[in-house]
Structure 1
Amino acid sequence: MPDDLARLRRRLRTACGAAGVPADDRARLVLAVTLLAEPAFAAGEAVDVTTAADGHRLAVTVRLAHAVSQRRRNELPLLPEAGADGVLTWHLTGGRAADQGALDDEPATRAEMLALIARADTLAQEQRDLKHELAETNSGVLAMYVDLEQRDEELRHAHARIFRELEDALRPPPPVVPGLELAVHYSPTDPDSPTGGDLYDWFVLPGGDLHVTLVDAVGHGVTSTRHALTVTHAIRTLALEGHSFPDLIAYAARTLAAIEPGLMATVLLARVDPVTGRARLANGSHPEPLLVTAAGDARLLPSPVIGRGIGFPDPGSPRLVDVALAPGDTLLLYTDGLVESRKNIDEGQARLLPLARGLRTRPAAAVPRELVARMHEVVTYADDTVAMVLRRS
């Protein structure tokens, strides 16, 4: 099924590129067709998709084996035209044939997410400007302003649902690693605007070791999301090319300096051998990870020499933290939003130690969410938060 979906999305992207369909319209079309085709493929049903271009007009028709209710049609990010129960058609306007760029599923999804975010930010700015003008008019316009507030709230919730589905593609689920239990939880600053600079990546290297990248890009919104994506992609590429683990942060910083001169991000890397339990950590300006042993000891793992993140002076991790995970030991990686909810990182880490110790017997899958909920019981400073758990089973 994943291959069928990938081929279908590639076909749609190719047709949109040939017709010059804008990236944000393409993104909504691809997501709409994916939401329809995925359950059909899972049920073993056929999905017939045809595309027809007439100049700068593109028609896309999807034929399903079952009827699609009007309510379901209305929930799609791009509304199709009325038609037979199992037939949905979209007509899109293009322009000059666009540069196709990467059509592989992951990079194309990233590009589409950023296009949708930029479109949403533009709409939000236009709405803010309009609200300001309405606020300066007489009281007779007040009723219109209230109505606009309600519509704006509905729009933000609708965008949030789309963003979350797109972000799921950028926040990969835990890989399957025999001998390790992995879990993660992401909590955005604003649940209705879930974009931010806290991203992560994890994958298994050809030799069997687990690699984890945790990034916190400076800033908020679209720019920080793009910067964090750039860092995770660069480090994945360098790691898979076989570059030395201790040098990954410094090498990525040098590589990205010419591409994104304004990029600043803290970075934490982990490399774990699931057979021996050996874990190595490279830290570039990131909060110290936490080790909780099966016996109940909990301690922070500060770097022997302070490392610096990407965009900082002298970036890199001069010395690694090397620790052996015994069966039942838990390694917690997190971004600063977990410990700065009361504006004091030292106080936050002091609270974190006993909470993490108390959750050591909980299933690994439940720990990140529970830990974030307890740490955020009182929030005076809201920030994006990622909590990741690596437990040797």
Structure 2
Amino acid sequence: MTTRTAGCATKAELSRAIRRLARDHGLDPVLRGRLVLSASEIAAEAVRTAEGTSVTWSFEPDRNARGSGLGLLTVTLRTARPPAPRSVTELPLPADAVHGLDVVWRLPARAAGSASHGNGSVNGSGPADDAALADEELRAVMARADGLTAEHRRLKDELEETNSGVLALYVQLDERDEQLRTAHGQTLRELEDALRPAPLAVEGLELAVHYAPAGTDAPTGGDLYDWFVLPDGTVHITVVDALGHGVTSTRSALNVTHAVRTLALEGHHLQSIVARTDEILLPFDRNVMATVLLVRVNPATGELRVANGSHPPALMLREDGTAEYLEARGRGIGFPLPGSDRLVSDRLAPGDLLLLYTDGLTESRRDPIEGEKRLVEAARSHRGRPTEEIPGAVAGDMHTVILHPDDTLALAVRLTGG
């Protein structure tokens, strides 16, 4: 390892000394220019006050690359005053170390005798040589800047092309998403239609229903209904609200409606059906919990009977505007001691309106008592509409504010007297 030192009284002498030692050791012109600028900044104050500076450099060959001329160039700049730590870190070429008055750079380089000087490198020892080296550094910096500009332009073009491709992909995905939404909506409508019983045409009786799920992500739920005509001409209506949402609760509700239909068609007494349904389903679905409302209407006479298993009561709105909830106590499917305690009997006259519903209609604001009062008001305001419009109109009034979203079912029954 050889070590050399040069004293420098002026900034020009310092720049010249560093340029040449950097040139002799084959430093890249850009790196060389950064080193010259950094040394000049540190020594500026010492040169201005004529305190002088000195630069020492040494080269240590790389033991792992013998014969290649490669090694480590250590350049040490000594000034009369210690440099500020911040200024050292913000130099064009940050220093590797600071020891008192010494600022040290360690750079990969070549031995002085092996550095290549082709393609624009400069030899000589006068001011013209120093200017030529500075020109070389400037040209290298400009070439680097031009290269970066070209690279930036290339990357910008690639980015614009990529953005254009991404935009086209978004358009394709949006079109595909719209197709999927359309297909999904069609499938859901078909599923809902499959769950609904066939429309019932009974002379003297009008029935209409409205159903809305708690959310579009779960278009089916545990709120279901069933209606059919018994052999004696009586119309049977079942309203079920199974615990939970989505397909699982739909399955439970379907099991309940099917069991009720089977028992009703077999001729079981209306009051016994809730308890018998629980007995039938218990071995197959131990987790089912559902409230049930059962209604029988004789279209010829208007005779009405109601059985209940933990379900909200039916609302009877008379032609004169008086309203009454038909309270029939009982416990639902899956509840302790399931069954309807008694039947409520009444008579539906022409012009009267009977509303059956699930708790999603009256408890959307978390207050069932307030919900029952609002339901009476909504039924009165829409009683003059055609029967098929009443359930949806009532639900629209009840759901102006929803604090507790839930599946909702509303079913209207009206005797026409035909």
TM-score by length of 1: 0.60
1:196 equivalent to 2:190? Answer no
Could you tell me whether the CA contact under 8 Å between 1:332 and 1:389 is conserved in 2? yes
Could you tell me whether the CA contact under 8 Å between 1:298 and 1:356 is conserved in 2? no
For 2:191, which of 146, 166, 169 is the aligned residue? 166
Match of residue 347 from structure 1: 370
1:151 Cα offset (Å): 5.6
Match of residue 44 from structure 2: none
Match of residue 29 from structure 1: none
Could you tell me whether the CA contact under 8 Å between 1:329 and 1:391 is conserved in 2? yes
1:189 Cα offset (Å): 1.4
1:275 Cα offset (Å): 1.1
**Letter matched to residue 229 of structure 1:** L
Match of residue 234 from structure 1: 259
Larger Rg: 2
1:372 equivalent to 2:395? Answer yes
Give the whole-Å Cα distance in 1 for the aligned partners of 2:271 and 2:171: 56
1:147 Cα offset (Å): 8.5
Match of residue 155 from structure 2: none
Post-superposition CA distance 1:170-195 (Å, at most 9, x none): 11243111111111111111235311
Change (3 A) 1:262 1:291: same
For 1:325, which of 348, 351, 359 is the aligned residue? 348
Match of residue 225 from structure 1: 250
Change (3 A) 1:317 1:146: farther
Give the whole-Å Cα distance in 1 for the aligned partners of 2:218 and 2:186: 10
Post-superposition CA distance 1:321-355 (Å, at most 9, x none): 11111111111000111111111111111111111
Give the whole-Å Cα distance in 1 for the aligned partners of 2:366 and 2:189: 27
1:286 equivalent to 2:335? Answer no
1:221 Cα offset (Å): 1.2
Report the secondary structure of 2:355's partner residue. strand
Change (3 A) 1:241 1:374: same
**Letter matched to residue 276 of structure 2:** Y
Post-superposition CA distance 1:36-62 (Å, at most 9, x none): xxxxxxxxxxxxxxxxxxxxxxxxxxx
Give the whole-Å Cα distance in 1 for the aligned partners of 2:174 and 2:374: 39
For 2:273, which of 232, 245, 248 is the aligned residue? 248
Match of residue 337 from structure 1: 360
Identity within the alignment, %? 58
1:160 Cα offset (Å): 2.8
Match of residue 78 from structure 2: none
Match of residue 32 from structure 1: none
Change (3 A) 1:154 1:219: farther
Match of residue 209 from structure 1: 234
Could you tell me whether the CA contact under 8 Å between 1:181 and 1:391 is conserved in 2? yes
**Letter matched to residue 197 of structure 2:** P
Structure with greater proportional strand content: 2
1:308 equivalent to 2:338? Answer no
* Equivalent residues in 2 for 1:1-393, closer than 5 Å: 155-191=180-216, 193-303=218-328, 306-393=329-416
Change (3 A) 1:370 1:157: same
**Letter matched to residue 281 of structure 2:** L
**Letter matched to residue 318 of structure 1:** D
Could you tell me whether the CA contact under 8 Å between 2:218 and 2:245 is conserved in 1? no
Could you tell me whether the CA contact under 8 Å between 1:286 and 1:335 is conserved in 2? yes
Report the secondary structure of 1:197's partner residue. strand
Give the whole-Å Cα distance in 1 for the aligned partners of 2:234 and 2:249: 29
**Letter matched to residue 159 of structure 1:** H
Give the whole-Å Cα distance in 2 for the aligned partners of 1:190 and 1:161: 17
1:154 Cα offset (Å): 5.5
Which aligned runs of 4 or more in structure 1 are off by greater than 2 angstroms? Answer: 143-158
Give the whole-Å Cα distance in 1 for the aligned partners of 2:249 and 2:181: 20
- Over the residues paired in the alignment, what is the CA RMSD in angstroms? 2.3
